[in-house]
Amino acid sequence: MSKLTTFKELKKIPCESSWFEPYRVAPGVTAIYEPHHFEEVISYLIEGDTSALLLDSGMGLGNIKALVEFLTDKPVTLVNSHSHFDHVGDNWRFPETHLLNLPECVAHLAAGTAQQADDANRAPEALWFDGEPWFDLKTWHTKPCKVVPIEEGHVFDLGGRKLRVIATPGHSRDSLMLADDENRLLFTGDTIYPGPIYAHIEGVEMVPVYYSTVIKLAAQFADYTLFCSHNNPVWEGSALKEIEDAFGKVLAGEVVGSSDPKTEGDTVSYQFGGFGIVLSRQAADLYGAKYRRHYHVVGAIIEHDGKILCMQRPKGKFPSTDLKWEFPGGKIEAGETGPQALMRELREEMDFEVNVREEDYFATVHHLYPEFELTMDTYLCHVANPRFTRKEHVDHCWLPPADMPSLDWAAADFPIVEQVIKSAQGDCPHVSFGGDKR
């Protein structure tokens, strides 16, 4: 695996900012890291003898211009690696910025946006910040700015250092990289970074374009040092070959990804060492990429008088779980908590009214079936009234924990059976059996 340098291994430049952390990553190159928002965006200040270039202006939550003026006395030219909100937030503080010449993208960036990003980026948990924020994520948005379009091949001459613009469409249509050929440095933006590489944002037709970009990069820059715009800053250029290889395997159907339950299965992820590739499910289907559906479900360990309710599945579409025994439950729908989903499923499948609370959480199991992938959160529920109507299952029984292994359990449920037995024997002190009946 290509060597990755993390911020922990680098020297932080002392500064007064409570939002940014600047690190020297190469002679004349400073990574400006934003560690307090989950995007973990990185902008780069690249200095020549006479002037400097700032690649991206960050989230726009701190004042990057003030930091840049602290870091260098040289005149600074701003360039955007692409126009996504997390790289252009402080553009408005500069006289102008530069973006690849795609008229629609240039116009969009120049106009700003009334509403910032998506809800995940504006949610309180998006912030990893102990201090009192001076900004409001709810009203946060990209302000208008002046944009100068540039073409591929354009060179920024900083005096003793030249940066060449390379168009790298894929992650976005307007993605560019800057190459410092003399020092063999490549500033990659979001096209290449050590994390989930997003090939799902711009529509299915952009996937082969992204792959072509990666092939071109791997052929030209594998012996460069990469400076990436998220997560960790410095990556060996040989990572380009690894990503090219991975992309090829995904599109040839040689690796199996899993659909993401957080996007209702609309995206499919392929994991490799140190990075991933994300496709839309539509693109995966179109290009023959293989994946398993990933279901996030809840299961109820229902206890009555020291016995546990075991349910037998009907014959269905997945041979791996046909007629196997399981804990009742089902899929978590969008917006539901685990207990809400479980109470709804028990009501729908069994006319069973069970009160489930967050504190009833028992354990989570993850299992890869041949046909699909399952993550199951289980809850331990004591019931006083064990009556229900069996609507979907073919059989059921109440068993003392020690007798449960006599049934032919679904593979995902069996580790939970083992934990239930341990709990009943008192080996798991956080769970008690025969507790309050309700």
Q: Which residues bind Fe ion (CB under 5 A)?
A: 84, 190
**Shortest Å distance, C-beta 90 to Fe ion:** 16
**Shortest Å distance, C-beta 117 to Fe ion:** 11
Cβ distance to Fe ion smaller for residue 84 or 173: 84
Name which of 279, 259, 263 is nearest 334 in CA terms.
263
**Shortest Å distance, C-beta 191 to Fe ion:** 9
Sign of dihedral through CA atoms 59, 125, 188, 214? Answer: negative
Cβ distance to Fe ion smaller for residue 37 or 84: 84
The phi and psi torsions of 231 (rounded to 5 degrees) equal 70, -75
C-alpha distances in Å from residue 335, one per residue of 188, 263, 338, 340, 346: 36, 12, 10, 10, 18
**Shortest Å distance, C-beta 72 to Fe ion:** 25
Place of tokens 């410092």: 180
Cβ distance to Fe ion smaller for residue 171 or 382: 171
Indicate the DSSP class of residue 91. G
Name which of 333, 322, 326 is nearest 302 in CA terms.
326
Distance, in Å, from the CA atom of 377 to the CA atom of 355, rounded to the nearest integer, reads 16
The phi and psi torsions of 84 (rounded to 5 degrees) equal -65, 145
Indicate the DSSP class of residue 58. B
- How far does CA 353 lie from the centroid of its chain? 36
**Shortest Å distance, C-beta 82 to Fe ion:** 6
Q: Is 124 exposed, middle or buried (0-12, 13-18, 19+ CB in 10 A)?
A: exposed
Place of tokens 């949610």: 123
**Shortest Å distance, C-beta 42 to Fe ion:** 12
Cβ distance to Fe ion smaller for residue 84 or 382: 84
Residue nearest to Fe ion (CB): 84
Name which of 314, 299, 297 is nearest 373 in CA terms.
297
**Shortest Å distance, C-beta 81 to Fe ion:** 8
Cβ distance to Fe ion smaller for residue 91 or 378: 91
Cβ distance to Fe ion smaller for residue 202 or 377: 202
Cβ distance to Fe ion smaller for residue 78 or 410: 78
Cβ distance to Fe ion smaller for residue 42 or 297: 42
**Shortest Å distance, C-beta 99 to Fe ion:** 13
Distance, in Å, from the CA atom of 7 to the CA atom of 155, rounded to the nearest integer, reads 29
Place of tokens 């490549």: 186
Distance, in Å, from the CA atom of 122 to the CA atom of 110, rounded to the nearest integer, reads 22
Cβ distance to Fe ion smaller for residue 47 or 190: 190
**Shortest Å distance, C-beta 175 to Fe ion:** 8
**Shortest Å distance, C-beta 261 to Fe ion:** 23
Distance, in Å, from the CA atom of 94 to the CA atom of 53, rounded to the nearest integer, reads 12
**Shortest Å distance, C-beta 197 to Fe ion:** 11
Tokens of residue 161, six digits: 């250092």
Cβ distance to Fe ion smaller for residue 36 or 82: 82
Tokens of residue 308, six digits: 């546990």
Burial string for 258-282 (b: 16+ CB within 10 Å, else e) reads bbbbeeeeebbbbebebbbbbbbbe
Cβ distance to Fe ion smaller for residue 190 or 236: 190
Residue 116 near residue 150 (C-beta atoms within 8 A): no
Q: Is 164 exposed, middle or buried (0-12, 13-18, 19+ CB in 10 A)?
A: middle
- In a 13 Å sphere around the CA of 70, the CA atoms on its Cβ side amount to 15
